[in-house]
Amino acid sequence: MLLKIGAAVSGEDLGYLLHKNPARAHAFDLAFGKAHVFYTRLGEDHAEAALLLDVDPIGLVRSGRQTGGEGALDHYVNDRPYAASSFLSVALSRVFGTAMSGKSKERQELADQPLDLEATIAALPCQDGEAFLRSLFEPLGYAVSAERHPLDEQFPEWGDGPYWTARIQGRARLRDLLTHIYVLVPALDAEKHYWVGPDEVEKLLRKGEGWLASHPRKEAIAAGYLRYDRTLIRDALARLVDEDSGDPEAEDHARRREEADLETPLRLAEQRTGAVLACLRAVEARSVVDLGCGEGKLLKALLEDRSLERIAGMDVSWRSIEAAQRRLRLHQMPPAQRGRIELIHGSLLYSDKRLTGFDAATVVEVIEHLDPPRLAAFERVVFERAAPRAVVVTTPNFEYNVKFPALPANRLRHRDHRFEWTRPQFAVWAAAVADRFGYSVRFLGIGPEDFVAGPPTQMGVFAK
Ligand code: SAH
């Protein structure tokens, strides 16, 4: 388990900031193994320190600190020795505790000041993928780059494993970077090695002071950190909200955000992505075109799915295409990856040869942006001309709007929406389209389903 911290300061300064003399290596005995600190770079204006954690798997079992059932093989054979996990956090607070508290006898002014920092974490387990990793660090102002490791270097055909090497860069105070890593690494790795009790809530809240309450993924962070213990999560979140309301500025900010994006609290965009991916897998699509791809959120998830050989995104808005290029880092993509994806600037209202030859098409939150008289053209372009064997369409369920407290009665969710359909309206339209172009259609809900109003998003899955 390896964490490297680089900073745009001299080796001597970093030594003072971390309270570890750069002239020698340091070793610490921990309950679960040994921690080593040494410097990998000592320049005039750039230095890097490494924290290497040598977890002892046998010692873990003997000391009864391992999770899992009695005598289970995974007591001995597991990822704990090398994966970055809550062990890393324990080591961080033991080894860099003073730096995390923000104190520095010799360099207090540097400790108080944002610096150009970079942390590299090797073997970071991230079952939920790169997007999740980014969603934790990016809102805190860091740039994230992540490289996924194959399951086995010698057998690339086995595909990717669940570990990543993550590089987190940004301008921050050293104490903040260390604290963010302390909280977010265990949140990524649900397998916490020690008993999670109420004092963990205290630790989370203390370390989260000043940033967690306004973090857009605070629920996911609390859930991962507290190992999905519902009572503790509820307690932590309730108290985070308390913290919020003490700060009028934060409250104002929160309200504005809510108005701007009603659906965020439901994490609907992510749920839509998950639901669409599941549909694509069910129809065993090898190629897919995302129509009205916007800034490419779905495309990014599609790229992570190795079973997709050919992916395209199309949008009428050039700005969206540019934003998608940036989000996907198209210009920096390795050629093998770059060959899997293309972006198409075009309109869904005109027949387009570039849309043919795909197994599936996705149309996520797009139809409601089309003028109703234009829908007939859209139907022919997609179902008659492009004619993939599966089409996944999602659109808001108008009935659910009463459940958004911030939305005045009978208003649509977005200024650019030309309509929002009730479930029967969508079903009538979809059934007629399926009938006309030789598809079958079934309906699924996305998001928390209300007994009366139904789900916030409705999805039609067309197949032929
Ligand atoms: N699918 C994305 C974006 C939804 S917003 C997501 O789920 O995040 C609707 C998108 O449809 C916008 O990016 C808009 O530019 C695009 N769009 C609207 N009319 C279009 C048309 N006629 N042809 C192609 N794209 C269109």
Q: What is the DSSP string of 4-16?
A: EEEESS-HHHHHH
* CA 429 to ligand 1 center in whole angstroms: 19
Return d(Cα 165, Cα 2) in angstroms, integer: 10
Q: What confidence tens digit (pLDDT) does each residue in 428-441 have?
A: 999 999 999 999 99
If pLDDT is split at 50, 70 and 90, which confidence band does 210 have? confident
Query: Which distant-in-sequence residues (6+ apart) come within 8 Å of 380 by Cβ?
Result: 351
Domains of the chain by start residue, with CATH: 2-194 (3.30.1610.20), 249-463 (3.40.50.150)
What's the whole-number mean pLDDT along residues 156-169? 80
- Burial code (b: 16+ CB inside 10 Å, e: under 16) for 142-152 equals bebebebeeee
* CA 407 to ligand 1 center in whole angstroms: 22
What's the whole-number mean pLDDT along residues 378-406? 94
* CA 292 to ligand 1 center in whole angstroms: 3
Q: What confidence tens digit (pLDDT) does each residue in 6-50 have?
A: 999 999 999 999 999 999 999 998 877 889 999 999 999 999 999
- The minimum-distance atom of ligand 1 relative to the CA of 365 is 4
Q: Which residue lies with its CA nearest to atom 14 of ligand 1?
A: 292
Whether the per-residue pLDDT at 73 is higher than 60: the answer is no
Q: Which residue lies with its CA nearest to atom 20 of ligand 1?
A: 316
- The minimum-distance atom of ligand 1 relative to the CA of 272 is 7
Whether the per-residue pLDDT at 231 is higher than 60: the answer is yes
Q: What is the pLDDT of residue 245?
A: 39
- The minimum-distance atom of ligand 1 relative to the CA of 347 is 23
Which has more confidence, 461 or 163? Answer: 461
Q: Which residue lies with its CA nearest to atom 11 of ligand 1?
A: 292
Whether the per-residue pLDDT at 252 is higher than 60: the answer is no
For residue 25, the tally of other CB atoms under 10 A from its CB is: 13
Least confident interval from 84-88, 212-216, 369-373, 418-422:
84-88
Residues with CB under 6 A from ligand 1: 292-294, 297, 315-317, 320, 347-349, 364-366, 369-370
Whether the per-residue pLDDT at 201 is higher than 70: the answer is yes
Q: Nearest-CA neighbor of 88 among 204, 7, 181?
A: 181
Q: What confidence tens digit (pLDDT) does each residue in 80-109 have?
A: 455 657 778 888 888 999 999 898 888 999
- Burial code (b: 16+ CB inside 10 Å, e: under 16) for 433-442 equals bbeebebebe
Whether the per-residue pLDDT at 155 is higher than 80: the answer is no
Q: Are 308 and 285 in contact (CB under 8 A)?
A: yes
* CA 355 to ligand 1 center in whole angstroms: 15
* CA 364 to ligand 1 center in whole angstroms: 8
- The minimum-distance atom of ligand 1 relative to the CA of 378 is 22
Which has more confidence, 119 or 104? Answer: 119
Substitution candidate for ligand 1 out of 272, 366, 420 with most atoms within 8 A of CB: 366
Which has more confidence, 419 or 152? Answer: 419
* CA 313 to ligand 1 center in whole angstroms: 10
Return d(Cα 201, Cα 197) in angstroms, integer: 7
Return d(Cα 158, Cα 106) in angstroms, integer: 51
**CA 317 to centroid of chain Cα atoms:** 25
What's the whole-number mean pLDDT along residues 295-320? 93
Whether the per-residue pLDDT at 270 is higher than 70: the answer is yes
Q: How far is CA 344 from CA 321, 359, 386, in A?
A: 8, 17, 14
- The minimum-distance atom of ligand 1 relative to the CA of 348 is 23
Q: What is the pLDDT of residue 58?
A: 59
* CA 316 to ligand 1 center in whole angstroms: 7
pLDDT > 70 in the chain, percent:
84
What's the whole-number mean pLDDT along residues 106-132? 87
* CA 293 to ligand 1 center in whole angstroms: 6
Whether the per-residue pLDDT at 62 is higher than 50: the answer is yes
Which has more confidence, 271 or 82? Answer: 271
* CA 323 to ligand 1 center in whole angstroms: 13
Encoding tokens for residue 74? 């995974």
What's the whole-number mean pLDDT along residues 322-327? 92
Which has more confidence, 405 or 325? Answer: 325
Q: What is the pLDDT of residue 72?
A: 44
Q: What is the pLDDT of residue 241?
A: 61
Substitution candidate for ligand 1 out of 351, 369, 378, 458 with most atoms within 8 A of CB: 369
* CA 269 to ligand 1 center in whole angstroms: 14
| Helical (H) or strand (E) element with 333 | none
Substitution candidate for ligand 1 out of 288, 315, 354, 392 with most atoms within 8 A of CB: 315
Return d(Cα 206, Cα 227) in angstroms, integer: 17
State the chain's mean pLDDT as an integer: 84
| Helical (H) or strand (E) element with 123 | strand 115-125
Query: Which distant-in-sequence residues (6+ apart) come within 8 Å of 231 by Cβ?
Result: none
Whether the per-residue pLDDT at 67 is higher than 70: the answer is no
